[in-house]
Amino acid sequence: MSQILSGITIRDQILSELKPRVAALSRPPGLAVVLVGHDPGSEVYVRNKIKACADLGIHSEKIAPPEDISTDELLAIVQELNARPDIDGILVQMPLPKQIDSRLILETVAADKDADGFHPTNVGHLVAGRPAPRACTPAGIMEMLRRYGIDPAGKNAVVVGRSDIVGKPMGLMLLHANATVTICHSRTSNLAKECRRADILVAAIGRPAFVTRDFIKPGAVVIDVGMNRIPNAEKGTRLIGDVDPAAMMEVSSAYTPVPGGVGPLTIAMLMTNTVELSERRQRTSV
């Protein structure tokens, strides 16, 4: 029978370990979340992030500028947060409205306040294997593998998806853990065949139930990053991952459910990044 890899269990472990670290600091860590507009999914994510901060004793601020804000106006908000000594981490919730230069905004967040791990400097540190904030979702997946005793070393790992947020950093983290890594994407030839080589398969392609039984090697560990809402007669919509759930349960040796798998880990690792940034800042300011 396949093992369920519970993100809720791992999240609770991570958060409980952070509490004494927060209590040991001379002041609470500070996290600023910038939410532009009223995207329903983003609003839910931000609300959950602020709740996690409150539970840990982290000071959080939500900045909610209007949807028609210009790039220059948003840059000014970010620069002000960069200058504030009580703010250790800054998160700009994506996606931003179309008139905003998203890349410029993310690059303006100070690298030493980059709670999401997206700044080019921190991506460079990831490539080089140096300590720095890591992209939260793949970092959470690595924590889950570690805590469940799943060692990537020597294994074939296939990542489906090449986004800057999940696919690329996931591939690098698995490589640093001594896996043999293949990153697949929309132009990959014979995608199912590539995926069937995987001892560890990470699906982050953004298509509901796209990864079917033909993609999964018997006994593989399957990590489903997908969060897709599809119509449902009873509830209006239901949440489904990028992997066909029945195939994942029946063919894999272990898998992450949707919901309750990867999702809870993203916020846990955001909290970890914020605490580590605060520890570093408070250490150097003494």
The more confidently predicted of residues 139 and 39 is 139
Q: pLDDT digits over 155-206, tens only? A: 999 999 999 999 999 999 999 999 999 999 999 999 999 999 999 999 999 9
> Could you tell me the pLDDT band of residue 216, with boundaries at 50, 70 and 90?
very high
Which of 88, 114, 116, 242 is catalytic? The answer is 116
The DSSP bridge partners found for residue 159 are: 183, 202
Are residues 222 and 243 in contact, defined by beta-carbon separation less than 8 angstroms? yes
Q: Distance (Å, rounded) from C-alpha 255 to C-alpha 3?
A: 6
Catalytic (active site) residue 13: no
Q: In the 8-state DSSP scheme, what is residue 124?
A: H
Which of 49, 155, 168, 217 is catalytic? The answer is 49
Q: Where, residue-wise, is CATH 3.40.50.720 in the chain?
A: 136-264
Per this entry, what is the length of the chain? Answer: 286
Which of 88, 93, 114, 224 is catalytic? The answer is 93
Catalytic (active site) residue 116: yes
Q: Distance (Å, rounded) from C-alpha 148 to C-alpha 14?
A: 13
Q: From 3.50.50.60, 3.40.50.10860, 3.30.465.10, 3.30.70.1110, which CATH number describes the 26-125 domain?
A: 3.40.50.10860
CATH topology for 136-264 is Rossmann fold (3.40.50)
Point out the least confidently predicted range of 85-94, 133-142, 233-242.
Answer: 233-242
Are residues 106 and 115 in contact, defined by beta-carbon separation less than 8 angstroms? no
> Could you tell me the pLDDT band of residue 233, with boundaries at 50, 70 and 90?
low
Q: Where, residue-wise, is CATH 3.40.50.10860 in the chain?
A: 26-125
**Mean pLDDT score of the chain:** 95
Q: pLDDT digits over 9-19, tens only? A: 999 999 999 99
For 81, the enclosing helix (H) or strand (E) is helix 71-83
